[in-house]
Chains A and B, each alone.
Chain A
Amino acid sequence: MNRMMRHYLFWPLCVLGALLLFNLLYSPDFFSIVLRDGHLYGSLIDILNFGAPLVLVAIGMTLVIATKGIDLSVGSIVAISGAIACLSISKGSDQSSLGLVMTAILSSLALSLVLGLWNGFLVAGAGIQPIIATLILMVAGRGIAQLVTSGQIITVDSSTYEYIGAGSLATLPFSIFIVAAMLIVALLLTRKTALGLFIESVGSNPTASRLAGIRSNMVIMSVYIFCGLCAGIAGLLLSSNVSSADGNNAGLWYELDAILAVVIGGTSLNGGRFYLMGTVIGALIIQTLTTTIYMIGVPPEITLVVKSVVVLAVCLIQSETFRSTIMTRWKTRNYPGEKEVVRHVP
């Protein structure tokens, strides 16, 4: 039992379980999944489908945070990637043609790789603090996305493109498979090769790892590129789900949600240790929370207050000082004798 409680997934899973249980008690048909025209429908499927972009972004963010960095530009990359894809599709004569959609997807993915490379270059090459280096793209990126879309919402009418975010494979939404594929790639790369170890080593001490023979800069560079790619795919999912690109609002505040998911999943912001599965659970918790708040009829805007309280609570629990303060309080309350201080009277 004790070993189970120590497991890093224990608390995140408890929270997720509690949320689901609450939903079950509140509305019993929460868990009902129906099969209609070969597609599965239900709240649980919705959570997976709508949470897919967040899970993707959060996976990339986990690796960045593991190197003691942070990527604030993911929301902007989401917007840019969706905008580029929709723009190139909307220019084609036959919007559903496979070739056109593939070109659009590949060009926006290539661009997100470049944007990730830019972040990585600033952090590893120029040695700028990650918060600030990615802040540049966060500010300028939204401008670029709005420039691409000319400030309007570009709508596309392409059944092929729509399949990515809204289509379904084997009765499940296709987006789930994309996320699963990326997750498996990330898990294999970090847990079956030495890369994961390198990332953790760089996160704890970049200089020491460089002296030990790890090319720290390359590792840092590659996690930012990976994070950019994840955000790019998330942008495709989001824009294809609604068949439109909105440079202003797509991916707004995604960076905050992604960081929150990573922190809930047990990854410390101090770097050096990361849990990809924890992040996935964290992202699902956020999505379930949002869905729950919608369902119980509370205005969706309250989500922000709830999220902020969750962030603070999780951070406080992670804080060594906070825990020791609470423990001392609790102990001195139970043993009042320890409270007595011998006063030195001059």
Chain B
Amino acid sequence: MSLNRKFIPILVTFGLFVVMFAAGSFRYTGFFSLQVLMNLLIDNAFLLITAVGMSFVILSGGIDLSVGSIIALTTMVSASLVQQQGWPPVVVIPLVLVMGAVFGYGMGAIIHYFKIQPFIVTLAGMFLARGLCYVISIDTITIDNAFYTSVAQTKIHLPGGSFVSISVIIALVVIAAAIYIAHYTRFGRNVYALGGSEQSALLMGLPVARTKILVYTLSGFCSALAGVVFTFYMLSGYGLHAVGLELDTIAAVVIGGTLLTGGVGYVIGTFFGVMIQGIIQTIISFEGTLSSWWTKIVIGLLLFFFILLQRLLIARRSTLKL
């Protein structure tokens, strides 16, 4: 059976996940259970949602460094509106989602119309969102609103005695929607075309401006949604929430096999990229003697490994073409 080369990174990712899970199961008692897998989803639901938005940005050939800050800003705005102003969550949640989308839209518009590198614009967005958090408050705002606590504590029982949280359902819905959008809609194909070559996309008459701006809007929206989920998870708003999350997110997308130059990759790969990061953390916590900083080092090494793999694959493809 000849294996299509574009599936290699995603298969490596999936294989790595299986190997890590198997190794954990052999090494630690209590590791091999459905609940451990479900906990991966529960603890990384917000990362999943953010990474989905980031996948679209990277597929289009850009990068979004503002995601972590938008999450923090979302927790902060939700907490201050619900807790200090007494607004009902029904109003606050749609409001913060719109806010995230508008934030992303603004960055996308600047990137496209003024032709400034996405890296620098989203960097400024990152500063801005983080700074706005502190303008609201420099302290943690704890949320004890009935709606938020009940959502946070709800357990959805699955057959087999395990359970998931509502956040997991949201994350899985987002993943499903993203797979549909990326692979079965016109917008999705435009994103791939844009990432493949912006010039060609333009010459083909694809709506480059709309696609590019929509991609950042989508990423902003996903970050805000992740922020809502994060608020359920932490039950507080704080300006230092999710510091450095943008890097975890980019790492997840890259480990998931998406090419950083854009145009190649699958949303489902991102899912396994996040799961691999989660399982590294789980293994380290099961090991007990290892400090949690090893997570960062291992993720860095994996990032290195996957980027090299991508380079090799690209190199092989270009030599084949010649």
Contacts and interface: CB of A to CB of B under 8 A. Distances in A.
Same complex for A and B? Answer yes
A309 interface: yes
Nearest to A70: B119
Contacts of A70: 119
Contacts of A140: 296-297, 299-301, 303
Q: Which size bracket describes the interface of A in this complex?
A: 35 or more
A316 B297 contact: no
Most buried by A among B132, B135, B303, B304: B304
Contact of B247 (A138, A303, A321): A138
Interface in B169-211: none
Given A305-B132, A322-B114, A299 B138 contact: yes
Contact of B124 (A147, A151, A315): A315
Interface string A94-115: 0000000000000000000000
Interface in A287-346: 299, 301-309, 311-312, 315-316, 318-322, 325
A138 B121 CA distance: 20
Q: Which size bracket describes the interface of B in this complex?
A: 35 or more
B116 A319 contact: yes
B135 to A, nearest CB: 6
A263 B311 CA distance: 30
B261 A129 contact: yes
B251 interface: yes
A135 to B, nearest CB: 6
B290 to A, nearest CB: 10
A195 interface: no
A234 interface: no
A319 B115 contact: yes
A229 B138 CA distance: 35
Contact of B134 (A299, A311, A315): A299
Contacts of B115: 319-321
A311 B293 contact: no
Interface string A226-265: 0000000000000000000001000000001001000100
B234 interface: no
Contacts of A259: 120, 123
A67 to B, nearest CB: 16
Contacts of A222: none
A142 interface: yes
Contact of A126 (B132, B296, B311): B311
Contacts of B135: 301-302, 305
A137 B299 CA distance: 10
Contacts of A131: 63, 119
A150 interface: yes
* Interface residues of A, dominant DSSP: helix
Given A129-B261, A140-B297, A146 B131 contact: no
B138 A137 contact: no
Nearest to B297: A143
Interface string B293-315: 11111011101100110010000
A136 B123 contact: no
B130 interface: yes
Contacts of B239: 301
A146 B300 CA distance: 14
A40 interface: no
A132 interface: yes
Contact of A315 (B120, B131, B299, B307): B120
A305 B307 contact: no
A179 interface: no
B247 A139 contact: yes
B128 interface: yes
A144 interface: yes
Given A302-B131, A307-B127, A135 B247 contact: yes
A311 B307 contact: no
B311 A147 contact: no
Contacts of B293: 142-144, 146-147, 151, 247
B93 interface: no
Nearest to B299: A139
B291 interface: yes
A79 to B, nearest CB: 12
A137 to B, nearest CB: 7
Interface string A266-306: 00010000000000000000000000000000010111111
B127 A304 contact: yes
A194 B115 CA distance: 32
A128 interface: yes
Interface in B31-51: none
Contacts of B295: 143
Contact of A308 (B116, B127, B300): B127
7 contacts: A136-B307, A138-B247, A143-B294, A146-B291, A150-B291, A304-B130, A312-B124
* Among all A-B residue pairs, the 6 with the closest Cβ atoms: A140-B300, A143-B296, A301-B134, A304-B131, A305-B131, A308-B127
Interface of A: 70, 122, 126-129, 131-133, 135-144, 146-147, 150-151, 247, 256, 259, 263, 269, 299, 301-309, 311-312, 315-316, 318-322, 325
Given A132-B307, A143-B300, 15 more contacts: A133-B307, A139-B296, A139-B299, A140-B297, A140-B301, A142-B244, A142-B296, A143-B294, A146-B293, A269-B117, A301-B138, A308-B131, A311-B120, A312-B124, A319-B115
